[in-house]
Homo-oligomer: A and B are copies of this chain.
Amino acid sequence: MTELLGKPVADEITESLKPEILSLKQKGIVPTLAVIRVGAREDDLAYERGLKKRFENAKCNVKIIELPEDVTQGVLDAAVASADEDPQIDGILMFRPLPKSLTDKNILNTISAVKDVDGMGKANMADIFSGAGEGHAPCTAEAVIEMLKHHNIEIKGKRVTVVGRSLVIGKPVSMLLLKENATVKVCHTKTEDLKAECQWADIVVACAGKAKMLDATYFRAGQTVIDVGMNVDEEGKLCGDVDFASVSEVVDAITPVPRGVGSVTTSVLLRAVVNNAKLR
């Protein structure tokens, strides 16, 4: 069994950006991501720390725009609009879900398509769907593709089962895999025989958001498993949607959680921000 680690993939991406970041610096430009955070949820803060570390190591900036949990929609909207207009900001990431009293619907379409580096607005969704390849896909979906490519796992013509159909990961990763010429099967809570549908695949992408829901009985030898889940198990430990301990005994290759796909996501985000900074 090969453990597919995220770090070498992330390192390769960040390494490749160094000359560009240096050349931007010589022009006085520091690629900058604005993070909009409402309240202080622990998982948001954890992700924020990871982001800051990655960006600082690469000599790029993260500007945290922190708003209280009881912020009004008007103030939040204005903060987003202001970040969008700021020429010193190259990309905007807003943590979601927002508190229930707020809506992200208009906000996501306020952010200009270029700065919408996590691909959540309509323009980018249309691009992901059409496969035009001009916009930003959600970084985690992009990270799944980077993971497979870096580890030389063939996608073209391969059978891929995606477990989960969220707008954040299941649907966009399905579109990206289709673009890479995989035969893509999208499964979800209403799928009748999920075991058979997983067994069928050469590659399984687990993104249902349910701790350890896929155990060894869902898999067979010869498969690659990409676990996008980020859950907390009964012992309070971070874990994926796949039961790594048992499944890693069965399949050919699998990403751990943590140290898997999640590690690649921030590098994909960094790359999008650096690419945008070149357009300043």
Listed in ascending order, the chain A residues whose CB lies under 8 Å from chain B are 122-123, 125-131, 156-159, 165, 167, 171, 174-175, 178, 181-188, 190-192, 197, 200
Contacts and interface: CB of A to CB of B under 8 A. Distances in A.
A269 B127 CA distance: 25
A interface majority secondary structure: mixed
A73 B139 CA distance: 37
A5 B183 CA distance: 30
Given A174-B186, A185-B185, 4 more contacts: A126-B126, A171-B178, A183-B192, A184-B185
A188 B175 CA distance: 13
A183 B197 contact: yes
Contacts of A183: 185-188, 190-192, 197
Contacts of A181: 188, 190
Nearest to A186: B184
Nearest to A183: B191
B190 A156 contact: yes
A154 to B, nearest CB: 11
Contacts of A131: 167
A118 to B, nearest CB: 15
Contacts of A157: 190-192
Contacts of A128: 129
Contacts of A175: 129, 171
A166 to B, nearest CB: 10
A178 B162 CA distance: 12
A145 to B, nearest CB: 16
Contact of A125 (B129, B165, B178, B191): B129
Residue from A158, A167, A184 with most neighbouring chain B CB atoms (10 Å):
A184
Nearest to A124: B126
Contacts of A197: 183
Contact of A186 (B130, B167, B178, B192): B178
Nearest to A197: B183
A226 to B, nearest CB: 18
Contact of A178 (B126, B165, B178, B182): B165
A52 B144 CA distance: 48
A179 B257 CA distance: 30
Contacts of A185: 183-186
A85 to B, nearest CB: 22
Contacts of A159: 192
24 contacts: A122-B122, A122-B123, A122-B127, A125-B125, A125-B130, A126-B129, A128-B129, A129-B167, A130-B167, A156-B190, A158-B192, A159-B192, A165-B178, A171-B175, A171-B178, A174-B186, A178-B186, A181-B188, A183-B192, A184-B185, A184-B186, A185-B185, A185-B186, A186-B186
